[in-house]
Amino acid sequence: MKTGNQIVQELPWKWGVQGKIFIIGGLGYMFDAWDVALNGFLTPLLAKHFELSVGEKGLIATANLIGMAVGAVAWGTIADRMGRKKAFSLTLLIFALFSVLGALSPSYEVFLLFRFLAGVGLGGCIPVDYALVGEFSPSRLRGKILSAMDVWWPIGATFCGVAATLLEPVQGNWRWMLAVMIMPALLLFWVRRGIPESPMYLAKAGREAEAREIIDDLVARTGTPAEPYVITAPPEETGGPRGLRAALYQLRLVWSFSPRITSVAWTLFVTVMTVYYVALSWMPTILKEEGYTDAAAFAKTTLMTGVGIVGVLLSAWLVEVVGRKWVIGVSAPVSAAALVAFAASLNLQTTALVWLGVFGFMIQVTIPVLYAYVAELYPTQIRASGFGWASSASRVVSGFIPFIFGTLLWPALGLTWTFAVLGGVTVVVVLWMAAGAPETKGRELDHVTEPAPKPGEEPDPVPVRA
């Protein structure tokens, strides 16, 4: 007899059922992109308004990304221990509140504090959204769906660029850039209340009646013939830690599950996202150094994010054709090489902009598949935490990198060699992925780390060692 999880993962895809969750989850992800991209547009404007040094400019992105790192861990843990739905709604509410306060900041120091706190709220969107959308997705389409989730990122970053470019001539422009995304975020918070809890989470939490109610509703709404199924009883719990101890406990579970897989997830996340965040956070400033006006620099950066929409669509097709590892292994080094070529050809404006477009396209082939891949590597009990800790590690490292980039790497090595070093690290990391982690294409969630079962065999449960 099938399990409830298998029933959910074998349902046909319907836009009115799973598609609704995909869209609402994706819109939250869009705000994550908008907020991260905003750091690059705010940097030159705040530098002028508050008369900032190079190091202080770097802290604008750092404060926000470190807040997101804290949020990724905190909300991933909440999602695994208290439910996806609660975390799904509250992340945006906290983000909107502190974005309002950030727009009213009277000083640079207060601004940094509110950007950090807004990041804490928004940092939970990615791990929670990916866990929830992945657990409602049919297994045969899960790679495409999770990769397609990332289309919301370049859309959000492009909306941010368009808004920043239009608001640049307005007095108090940086305050309006923060304020303009608050109302849509609050509206989305209201809409998110109608999303059901993940039945996979409910089953693992021992809430069988609630899990059955949601599964039966999904079966009916997708027009699938009903069939009997079992809800696997969870292991008996003796009561777990709370607060910071809970987060650290989840971290121990993530590493004890598989140190090799977790090291692959963390190094991939850190490397790929560092390359992207450096480019996103500093690109308007780099272009201004080359003589572009604020508006022109903003427009060219928006071009970089806009072509990424096409890259995401390509990744959603490639992920099920060639597999997760091949897409990441090829596109990540190519995107890093394009960034090196951009820096080396800055004196040739047209050529440099072509390479900037190539980078924006290729990095958005990599990131969607990276997110789908890492979300699939962990079992349900620690999926949001596993993703959240990997995301958090990348936010911490890439959070400090904009500061280090502006004060140390760029002045000491120059732009081309700095990007070349990041590219070399990328090559090393994808080679470790090739050796250290399994391909997840076509595998059932919770069983991707096992040898593929023979036809007709049912995979054994995957234990998560405490």
Specify the DSSP element, H or E, that contains 2.
strand 2-3
pLDDT over threshold 70, residue 114: yes
Judged by average pLDDT, the poorest of 160-169, 242-251, 290-299, 302-311 is 242-251
Q: pLDDT band for position 154 (50/70/90)?
A: confident
Position 110 scores a pLDDT of: 95
HSE-up (13 A, CA, CB side) for residue 252: 10
Residue 70: its pLDDT value, please? 82
Instruction: Summarize pLDDT for 271-317 with one digit per residue, the tens.
Output: 998 899 888 888 988 898 888 888 888 988 998 999 999 998 898 88
Q: Residue 447's pLDDT is what?
A: 65
Residues 399-414, mean pLDDT to the nearest whole number: 81
The answer to whether residue 244 scores a pLDDT higher than 70 is no
Question: What's the confidence (pLDDT) of residue 263?
Answer: 94
Which position has the higher pLDDT, 278 or 399?
Answer: 278
Residue 461, pLDDT score: 43
- Tens digit of each residue's pLDDT (9 = 90 or more) over 430-452: 999 999 888 887 666 666 665 55
For domain 2-232+245-436, the question of CATH label 3.30.1950.10 is answered with no
Quick: pLDDT tens for 35-80: 888 888 998 899 889 998 877 888 888 888 888 878 877 776 777 7
The reported pLDDT for the residue numbered 366 is 94
pLDDT tens by residue, 15-44: 888 998 888 878 777 877 888 888 889 988
**Lowest mean per-residue pLDDT among 214-218, 232-236, 238-242, 295-299:** 238-242
Mean pLDDT of 408-426: 91
d(CA 68, CA 63): 9
Beta partners for 3?
A: 230
Sketch the domain layout of the chain as residue ranges: 2-232+245-436
Q: 51 vs 380, which has greater pLDDT?
A: 51
Q: What is the pLDDT of residue 450?
A: 59
The answer to whether the CB of 264 falls within 8 A of the CB of 436 is yes
- pLDDT value of residue 401: 76
Inter-helix orientation angle 259-289/243-257, to 10°: 110
Q: What is the pLDDT of residue 449?
A: 63
Which pLDDT score is estimated for 465? 37
Average pLDDT over residues 232-241: 57
> What's the pLDDT band for 335 if we cut at 50, 70, 90?
very high
How many angstroms separate the CA atoms of 242 and 356, rounded? Answer: 45
Beta strands in 198-262 (DSSP E): 229-230
DSSP state of 409: I
344-371 pLDDT per residue, tens: 998 888 899 999 999 999 999 999 889 8
Closest C-alpha among 189, 151, 185 to residue 319: 151
Region 394-407 average pLDDT:
78
pLDDT at 11 over 70: yes
Helices (H), 243-348: 243-257, 259-289, 294-306, 308-321, 324-344
- Cα 359 to chain centroid distance, Å, stands at 18
Check pLDDT > 50 for residue 459: no
Place of tokens 């207060």: 110
What's the chain's average pLDDT? 83
